[in-house]
Amino acid sequence: MNVVVVAVIALIIMVVLVVVFGSRFKFFGAATVSCVNKGGQCQEKCGEDDLIHRGTNCEKDFPNKPLCCVPFGGAEAKK
| Residue 74 pLDDT > 60 | no
Helix, strand, coil distribution of the chain in percent, nearest 5: 55, 15, 30
- Over residues 42-56, the pLDDT tens digits come to 999 998 889 998 888
- Over residues 2-52, the pLDDT tens digits come to 999 999 999 999 988 887 776 655 555 555 678 888 889 999 999 888 999
**Rounded distance between C-alpha atoms, residue 49 and residue 37, angstroms:** 19
